[in-house]
Amino acid sequence: MLGDTAMRRIAILNQKGGVGKTTTAVNLSAALAKLGQKVCLLDLDPQAHATTHLGIEPDGEMPSIYDVLVRQRPLADVRREVGENLSLIGADINLAAAEVELAGIVGREVILREAMENDAEDYDYALMDCGPSLGVLTLNALAATHEVFIPLQPHFFALHGLSKLLETTALVSRRINPGLKVTAIAVCLYESGTKLAQEVLGEVKSFLDKSRGTNVPWAEARVFETRVRRNVKLAEAPSHGKTIFEYAPSCPGAMDYMALAREVSGIAVEHSERVRETSAA
Ligand SMILES: Nc1ncnc2c1ncn2[C@@H]1O[C@H](COP(=O)(O)OP(=O)(O)O)[C@@H](O)[C@H]1O
Ligand SMILES: [Mg+2]
C-alpha cells in the first residue's frame, strides 16, 4: 500500500520554476517502471504538467488529487493506470483553490499522508511532483514523503532560494515529519563542458559537505552522478502526452533518465549497456 514503509516515497521539489521537476518526476517514474518497479506518480501542481505529460487532459470534471485533499476521497478513486507498472494521481486546475479551501482546516498539512496510509495498493515507489511554491500542497508532499530530490539547473542563480527550501524541510522535519531527508540533488538541463556548471556544482558539493554529521535533513544528501543533459526531445515529449521512453526511446534524454533510475534504485546496469558505455568512454 502507499502507506507501506518498504515503499520509497520521494518528493521532487524546488520552488524555482523551470528547473526540471516535472520532466524528472515523469521520466524517472517511467524509467523506474521500465526497470520493473511499481510506481505511482502524484501530481501536486495545479498547473497539472505531469498529468498532461502522461497524456491525461485534466478537464476539471474527472476526480483528481483535489478531491483527495479537499473532499476526503480515497486515492483509489482518483488513481489511473497510465502504463505498465505506472499509475497516476492526477492534478487539475481546481487544485489552485485548495490553498484557500484548506485554510483553517486543522491538520491540513497531513491530509495526503493519511490518504497514503489508508491506501491498500502495493508500490515500490511513490513520486510526488511539486509546484513552484512552498504552500499547503508542497507541505502535504513534505509531510507525506520520506525523501526529497532537488532538481537543480547549474547556472549562476541555482543556489538562490535553495536555503529557503532547505529551511522549510528542516521545519517540517521538526514539526510534522521527523523522518524527512533530503537525499539527493539531481542536476538537470546540464550543458556539459561549461565552466559555470562545474563551479556551481562545486559550490553545491562544498555546501553539502559542511552539513555532514549534523542533524539537518540534508546532512546525507548527495549529488547524483548522472547529469541529465539538455536534450530537445525532453522538451518536445510533453506536448505529445508521452514519456521520453514512448516519444524518443534512444535519445540522450531517455538514456540519462534510465541511468538516473538505475542510480536511484541501485538496479545494476545490464552487461550489454556496460559494454556500450565502456566503448563510448
Ligand atoms: N534536460 C532537458 N532538456 C531540454 N529541455 C528540458 C530538460 N528538462 C526540462 N526541460 C524543459 O524545460 C522546461 C521546464 O522543465 P520542467 O520539468 O517543466 O520544470 P519545472 O517542473 O521545475 O517547472 C520544460 O519546457 C521542459 O520540457
Ligand atoms: Mg513542473
* Number of the ligand 1 atom closest to the C-alpha atom of 238: 27
DSSP 9: E
The ligand placed nearest to the CA atom of residue 192 is 1
Residues contacting residue 203 through CB under 8 Å, at least 6 positions apart: 159
Report the number of distinct structural domains present in the chain: 1
Give the other-Cβ count within 10 Å of 127's Cβ. 26
Q: What is the domain range of residue 158? A: 8-280
- 235: Cβ below 6 Å to ligand 1? yes
Residue 224 forms part of a structural domain: yes
Asked if pLDDT for residue 33 goes beyond 80, the answer is yes
pLDDT tens-digit series, residues 224-242: 999 999 999 999 999 999 9
Instruction: Give me ligand 1 centre to Cα 174, in Å.
Output: 32
- Mean pLDDT across the stretch 43-50? 97
Residue 2 forms part of a structural domain: no
pLDDT bracket for residue 273 (50, 70, 90):
low
Helix boundaries (H) for the chain = 21-34, 49-53, 65-71, 75-78, 98-101, 111-117, 136-144, 162-175, 195-210, 232-236, 244-247, 252-265, 271-280
DSSP 133: S
Q: Whose CA is nearest to atom 3 of ligand 1?
A: 230
Asked if pLDDT for residue 119 goes beyond 50, the answer is yes
pLDDT tens-digit series, residues 79-110: 999 999 999 999 999 999 999 999 999 999 99
pLDDT of 281: 43
Instruction: Give the domain CATH number at 76.
Output: 3.40.50.300
Residue 91 forms part of a structural domain: yes
Residue 1 forms part of a structural domain: no
- 231: Cβ below 6 Å to ligand 1? yes
pLDDT of 159: 82
Cα distance between residue 180 and residue 159, in whole Å: 21
Residue 151 forms part of a structural domain: yes
Nearest to 187 by CA among 217, 215, 222: 222
Residue 3 forms part of a structural domain: no
Q: Whose CA is nearest to atom 10 of ligand 1?
A: 235
Three cell numbers, residue 39: 510506481
State which of 23, 137, 231, 244 you would mutate to test the pocket of ligand 1, scoring each by most atoms of that ligand within 8 A of its C-beta: 23
Query: Among all chains, which residue has been given the C-alpha cell 505529460?
Result: 53
Q: Whose CA is nearest to atom 17 of ligand 1?
A: 20
